[in-house]
Amino acid sequence: MGRVGVLLLNLGGPEQLQDVRPFLYNLFSDPEIIRLPFAWMQKPLAWMISTLRYQKSQENYKAIGGGSPLRRITEEQAIALQGSLQEKGHDIRVYVGMRYWNPFTEEAVAKIKRDQIEELVILPLYPQFSISTSGSSFRVLEKLWEQDPSLQKVDYTVIPSWYNRPGYLQAMTELIEQEIEHCDHPEQVQIFFSAHGVPVSYVEEAGDPYRDEIEGCTAAIMQTLNRPNPHVLAYQSRVGPVEWLKPYTDEVILELAKEGVKELVVVPISFVSEHIETLEEIDMEYRELAEEAGIEKFNRVPALNTHPVFINDLAEMVIEALNAPNIKFSDVAHPGKKTKMYPQESWEWGLTTTAEVWNGRLAMLGMIGILIEIMTGQGPLHFIGLL
């Protein structure tokens, strides 16, 4: 075995308030976020959004301490994973590549080339696969590999998703158990799984397995937990004019309050690191909503971060991937479907995080709608403030 590496993939986030505006610019310069009919429109629109909205977004980051902890936590996970691999007798270097902020995926790949890595495991820190998260990063890497002959010599394999791993499930249940035991009525408390949403079209038209994997993950956690508590699954962070996966987290909170539920244990099921959507959206926005609706106790299960059982399972996953047949970017298909990783969607109006096809006759109408939402602070502006 030659030099071996692991590339951890994540979204990234602004570490300081002055990073927010360039972070937003990077985000919306990417056609995976907004697909426009003309390429020349991408950067001007990204500049407009980042200019108009960065101050509002900065307020959200001020509320959690002035910046996103995502890079720090991801690098801590990388260090812990490398240590776990060494304890298992594997001298493997771990790299971190972020999609929209430092250290960028391209920077991580440059380090991998510099270190002359010969075998590489590509591991997204998203338990469930979606074309908008893991798929988006895979596309960037696929292009890098296609353009660089030296990378084509690297024997790589991709881990598409790992939501049903026993170690991951065990770590999640341990954290849930700890939170439940602090409740007034542990056996009756409502368990509330909140996952990041995606547009319905991803699932129903593009064949994204995300919903199936989220539902399967929820069921597997409850089976591992083996408790009689009622539970519910909902989706947060919906944005824009298109329909997103339902039910929505905020609406379910209000429904539970009407039913007389007084205590919740909220589980951020699609996040393995603390960041803006756990620390601000869940801990502040949803907590306030719940309390105003009459829910007296709002308990939130912490993200896995560097939970030892979780890190150990990541290490086992890497070792297993090295000993299994390689999975290439072009080979990553949706479970139970014949659709490839980047299916071509039918035209659809709105903001997405994957490549949409815009109907030319409605392109300018779409642009007008986006600009109206930017100026009024509705729709995608909510998204901008939460990333």
Please tell me the distance from the alpha carbon of residue 186 to that of residue 36, in angstroms, as a whole number.
50
Please tell me the distance from the alpha carbon of residue 151 to that of residue 161, in angstroms, as a whole number.
23
Residue 107 marked ligand-binding: no
According to DSSP, the β-strands at 263-268 and 190-196 are parallel
Q: Which alpha helices (DSSP H) does the chain contain, by range?
A: 20-29, 42-63, 70-87, 105-114, 134-147, 166-180, 200-204, 210-225, 249-258, 276, 287-293, 308-322, 363-376, 380-386
Please state the separation of Cα 354 from the chain's center in Å. Answer: 14
Residue 196 marked ligand-binding: yes
Measured CA distances, 185 to 179, 189, 262 (Å): 12, 6, 10
Please tell me the distance from the alpha carbon of residue 272 to that of residue 294, in angstroms, as a whole number.
29
Q: At what angle do helices 166-180 and 210-225 cross, to 10 degrees?
A: 60
Helix (H) or strand (E) holding 123: strand 119-124
Spatial CB neighbours of 244, under 8 Å, sequence gap ≥ 6: 197, 198, 199, 200, 235, 238
Q: Nearest-CA neighbor of 157 among 133, 136, 141?
A: 141
Please tell me the chain's helix, strand, coil percentages from 3-state DSSP, rounded to the nearest 5: 50, 15, 35
Please tell me the distance from the alpha carbon of residue 32 to that of residue 36, in angstroms, as a whole number.
10
- 11 class by beta-carbon count within 10 Å (0-12 exposed, 13-18 middle, 19+ buried): buried
Residue 179, token pair as written in the block: 């939170």
Detail the residues annotated as belonging to a binding site for Fe(2+). 196, 277
Detail the residues annotated as belonging to a binding site. 196, 277
